[in-house]
A and B are shown apart, each in its own frame.
Chain A
Amino acid sequence: MWRRRTGGDTRRSSGTARAAAQAEPAGPVEPPQQPALTIDALGRKCPIPIIMLAERINQVAMGGVVAVLADDPAAFTDVPAWCRLKSHEHVGSYELPQGGWSIHVRRNY
């Protein structure tokens, strides 16, 4: 069920899409670490998914992974940007079969 998305979006045109296809392995990719906590933010608009993440990330142990399920396109950019601002690690974003992504974040502190 997992397919890795490294960046960009479906609106991107052929050149980038081609480059991305070459860079990514074909077929489903397993996330490297199972999440210790899953936050269901499907159907919620940004900034709500980020607020839920910020509220709950301390519920996992240091080094643990939180999965944020979100389908607002803003979350695809905003969760990794939040990680950068807050010095947590964006592990990866994986497409969900029903649409949206499971966005994995590792707690760093």
Chain B
Amino acid sequence: MFGITDPAIWVGYLLALGFTLACLVYGLLNWNKGTEEEPDGS
């Protein structure tokens, strides 16, 4: 994948990108949650 043949490397890249995406999605979904008046349950 992308010129890298060892799965142990490209899986690492996919996971790094996946976690970054998870951070983006989490931040957007919880953008207005968790004010002092409104506990976000976590």
Q: A and B: real partners?
A: no
Measuring CB to CB, which residues of chain A are less than 8 angstroms from any residue of chain B?
A: none
